[in-house]
Structure 1
């Protein structure tokens, strides 16, 4: 791709699209258009975010040669169809997590993008948060400056948010809160500790009876080189605000951070050091910039379709483990 500015058409003008557009407003090298089955909504987003064009159908947007790519914000059950439509039309694809509901759907999306010569990237903003970058820098440092050999990773995210609308449907979502929001922390676990070799999971007692999927889960993972990883994820913990926390223990120290926080804390014995991060806490600007640069540089994006498939395979293996009350091998739920 030769031109420096990328035009991305937003597919699905809902609440989270509003959040991302607010955070990426003014990003250089990118311009947005908006498509919705409700033209008035697309036009409203175009006006609000200084977009270049609005469309009353996805087909109209994909037929416009001025659109280089799409950013898919639609519900999980529509990811496959919208991604295949876009890739077949020659548009690069940025799709919200999870990549899909099933391994088979994800693999079809990957193959369709590959056969049409377009990039497929999963919009996993946690992969781009500054706190993760700082934590990885410390983990890669020599033992005297870092934490030494990895021993354990503990991730918690607890809050109170009842699923709304389509998220209550097992068919539309592909699961419950873990595939919808917990997959962020699966990506964090893999980024910090590598792909799990074995996992076991248990459901938490259900609170939201209106939802067909789970509202809480506890995951235990055996990581490469003998390390241990845990994720406690709940959206039915009756507290006033969502709390997220990551602890990484090594043979020579401990790292702690909040994913959207502005610092990483390194503890070595009685010594505690605060390492400041940048102010781009949620990582969305860096994420969209990576999508643009991967296309311009004609390379695979950091958060490729295959990486999204990795995250999904852990979620689905967790479901199988919780259902069967057994330890499982995640690669059994992947197609490669």
Structure 2
């Protein structure tokens, strides 16, 4: 394995990019080499905050920078596909923020571009890499709670039309399903795989996006009851039930610092597994390792995993008639 720093570029400098950049600074073999925003003042401010020497006011300029190894796409959902493909065409590895795209066809195009140009590509499902989720997945597969047959998971908060404009913007792929509904769907997928049947119902905003969506996923011997909302709160714990007990991931479960195991309604064990930084660090480490080992995909969150999840989301999008 090469002993060198992987040089990162960030495209799109909103809130999530700030959290990602802070975690990137914690990784020894990673360096934030360049950032880009359509607004050069935003790029200057971001670059100064994280001590980045290069800042651009066009995404294309960052893609053309020969010093950048891998690009983190942190723009709104509607631009994920085109920007990822453009970066791959420019010889960059890509970590694209979830959801991978607003359609299954676009997700396919992104994966094809990764293979064509032989460059690493991964959807940034950071929850897949945090220690608590990894440990729960391993323990359930080893039978700690028997045969797993039930999941209950929410992701909900009260968004503001003035502060979270993107969330309510139809043109940017706003709404509950694509922004946060993909998280509980992801948990069900890594536990059970692709469902046999999906039932989804939504409450809508005036422009047709979903304000909240509830989903039941039916499997051969299991069910997942999932919910996402940008207009209500929930405890955001995730419960995983089996024939010999249940697991409860700490709230908020998608960045949990641990979990509890219950048997016969008694708390049998508590596991504490804190994240490094906010938790984006774990997916950064995975990307670096894959790139250094000349892999174009992660074994933990593969191209096929992203395509499978995108297909599940596409079915729900069709059921609830989202206008994307």
**1:176 partnered with 2:175:** yes
Which residue does 1:250 correspond to in 2?
Answer: 242
Whole-angstrom CA distance in 1 between matches of 2:142 and 2:114: 37
Deviation at 1:282, TM superposition (A): 4.7
Do the aligned residues in 1 keep the contact of 2:155 with 2:180 (CA within 8 Å)? no
Partner of 2:210: helix, strand, or coil? coil
Whole-angstrom CA distance in 1 between matches of 2:271 and 2:193: 23
Q: How does 1:92-241 map to 2 (within 5 A)?
A: 92-142=93-143, 146-162=144-160, 164-173=164-173, 176-203=175-202, 205-206=203-204, 208-209=205-206, 211-223=207-219, 225-237=220-232, 239=233
Shift of the 286–183 alpha-carbon distance from structure 1 to 2, 3 Å rule, reads: same
Q: Which deviates the most, 255-264 or 213-222?
A: 255-264
Runs of 4+ in 1 over 4 A off after TM superposition: none
Deviation at 1:129, TM superposition (A): 2.4
Which residue does 1:58 correspond to in 2?
Answer: 59
Deviation at 1:120, TM superposition (A): 0.9
Shift of the 4–19 alpha-carbon distance from structure 1 to 2, 3 Å rule, reads: same
* 1:71-118, Cα deviation, whole Å (9 max, x unpaired): 111111211221121111100011101111111111111111110110
Do the aligned residues in 1 keep the contact of 2:7 with 2:68 (CA within 8 Å)? yes
Paired positions, count: 313
Give the TM-score normalised by the residue count of structure 1: 0.86
**1:276 partnered with 2:272:** yes
Gaps of 5+ in 1: 325-336
Give the TM-score normalised by the residue count of structure 2: 0.89
Q: Cα RMSD (Å) of the superposition?
A: 2.1
Deviation at 1:184, TM superposition (A): 1.6
Which residue does 1:306 correspond to in 2?
Answer: 304
Whole-angstrom CA distance in 2 between matches of 1:2 and 1:270: 50
Which residue does 2:281 correspond to in 1?
Answer: 285
Do the aligned residues in 1 keep the contact of 2:72 with 2:95 (CA within 8 Å)? yes
Whole-angstrom CA distance in 2 between matches of 1:122 and 1:279: 19
* 1:168-192, Cα deviation, whole Å (9 max, x unpaired): 233421x621111111221111112
* 1:200-259, Cα deviation, whole Å (9 max, x unpaired): 1111x34x54x5300111111112x4111110211211x5xx531111111111111131
Whole-angstrom CA distance in 2 between matches of 1:262 and 1:228: 25
Do the aligned residues in 1 keep the contact of 2:175 with 2:230 (CA within 8 Å)? no
Whole-angstrom CA distance in 2 between matches of 1:39 and 1:3: 33
Deviation at 1:30, TM superposition (A): 0.7
Gaps of 5+ in 2: none
